[in-house]
């Protein structure tokens, strides 16, 4: 990010950001004004446009909160709160993050295991692949409650059911990417190993696995974002009291739009950070392996 900024794209980025903010404020006025006009009408009071303008920016439960309201809310619920407090957004983000990471780890392992099976066995290739693809055509919102209820019934609660949903979403890109990666060595490279009379295990560890690493990291960037979505979705049907999903749900119950938007921003920030982190590790590993020039 720093490098893109320093490469002379600062001005375009700032211009777009400014345009979005202006557009946002315009929408704030437009969406929140009817409420103010209503209020004025009920009180039989005259209201000027400039009054409407200022009032739309400080409603308690606006249809659309103004950017500064969201920023103040985020400030108040992060920096100004103890992180162990139930009112701290950092606390809720941490809850969601922990099931995201757990689900991501499960999903990565499952995805790799499936890919290894598929690459080594034609039977698995034929029998598993259709199921893997089908699994992703079912909307996660439809399965999430089922998973939670079933796991609850067998006594699994808390972090695990949510991580399970993250896994459900994140194993797919890893499996697909790794099948492609493990199959990426060309015929010449396979023939070369054949002339050495290499065993299947040697072929895997010395050729297939290292060849697949760039594919793995590309998939991991998709998978980590999917894991976060899974964790948030997993918090919705449980009636969870903590986590970003719970904040979203509670916010919508009580019409706390500012809370919803700050949870949204926190989720977006978390997603961006996680994807960025995977990217950093990606570059590190490839450099370590000698593949980045």
Partner 1 sequence: MNKTEKMTTPVIQTDKLSLTFETNDGPVHALSDIDLTINEGEFVSFIGPSGCGKTTLLRVIADLEQPTGGEITVEGGTPREARLNRAYGYVFQAAGLYPWRTIEKNIALPLEVMGLSKQEQQERIARNLALVDLDGFEKKYPWQLSGGMQQRASIARALAVEPDMLLMDEPFGALDEIVRDHLNEQLLLLWAKTKKTVVFVTHSIPEAVFLSTRIVVMSPRPGRIHEIIDCDLGDERPLEIRETTKFLEIAHQVREGLRLGHSYDE
Closest-CA residue to 93 (of 78, 104, 81): 78
83-104 core/surface letters (b: 16 or more CB in 10 A; e: else): eeeeebbbbbbbbbbebbbbbb
Between 43 and 188, CB nearer to partner 1: 188
Pick from 8, 188, 200, 253 the residue near partner 1 by CB under 8 A. Answer: 188
Pick from 8, 197, 200, 253 the residue near partner 1 by CB under 8 A. Answer: 197
CB of 116 to partner 1, least distance (A): 19
210 binds partner 1 (CB under 8 A): yes
Distance separating alpha carbons of residues 17 and 199, to the nearest angstrom: 56
Pick from 136, 206, 218, 242 the residue near partner 1 by CB under 8 A. Answer: 206
Say how many Å lie between the first and final Cα of the chain, rounded: 20
CA-CA distances (angstroms) from residue 173 to 51, 95, 121, 253? 52, 24, 20, 34
Show the tokens assigned to 80: 């100004």
Contact 95, 242 (CB under 8 A): yes
CB of 215 to partner 1, least distance (A): 13
CB of 85 to partner 1, least distance (A): 47
CB of 199 to partner 1, least distance (A): 8
Pick from 193, 250, 264, 275 the residue near partner 1 by CB under 8 A. Answer: 193
By three-state DSSP, how is residue 88 classified? Answer: coil
CB of 282 to partner 1, least distance (A): 14
Pick from 12, 130, 139, 290 the residue near partner 1 by CB under 8 A. Answer: 290
Show the tokens assigned to 217: 């990291």
The footprint of partner 1 (CB under 8 A) covers 188-189, 191-198, 202, 206-207, 210, 213, 289-291, 293
């Amino acid at each position: 990010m720093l490098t893109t900024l320093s490469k002379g794209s600062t001005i375009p980025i700032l211009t777009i950001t400014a345009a979005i903010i202006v557009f946002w404020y315009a929408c704030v006025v437009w969406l929140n004004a009817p409420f103010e006009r209503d209020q004025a009408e009920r009180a039989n009071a005259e209201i000027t446009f400039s009054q409407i303008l200022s009032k739309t920016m400080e409603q308690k439960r606006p249809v659309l909160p103004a950017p500064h309201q969201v920023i103040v809310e985020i400030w108040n619920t992060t920096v100004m709160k103890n992180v162990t407090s139930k009112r701290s957004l950092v606390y809720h983000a941490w809850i969601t993050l922990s099931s995201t990471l757990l689900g991501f780890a499960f999903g990565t392992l499952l995805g790799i295991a499936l890919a290894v099976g598929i690459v080594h066995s034609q039977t698995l290739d034929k029998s598993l692949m259709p199921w893997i693809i089908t699994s992703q055509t079912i909307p996660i919102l439809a399965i999430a409650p089922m998973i939670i209820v079933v796991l609850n019934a067998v006594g699994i609660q808390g972090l695990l059911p949510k991580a399970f949903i993250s896994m459900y979403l994140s194993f797919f890109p890893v499996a697909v990417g790794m099948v492609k990666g493990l199959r990426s060595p060309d015929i010449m490279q396979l023939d070369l190993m054949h002339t050495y009379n290499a065993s299947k295990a040697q072929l895997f560890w010395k050729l297939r696995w290292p060849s697949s690493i760039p594919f793995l990291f590309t998939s991991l960037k998709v998978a980590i974002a999917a894991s976060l979505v899974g964790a948030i979705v997993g918090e919705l049907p449980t009636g969870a009291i903590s986590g970003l999903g719970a904040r979203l749900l509670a916010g919508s119950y009580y019409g706390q739009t500012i809370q919803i938007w700050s949870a949204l921003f926190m989720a977006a920030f978390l997603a961006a950070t996680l994807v960025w982190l995977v990217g950093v590790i990606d570059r590190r590993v490839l450099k370590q392996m000698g593949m980045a020039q």
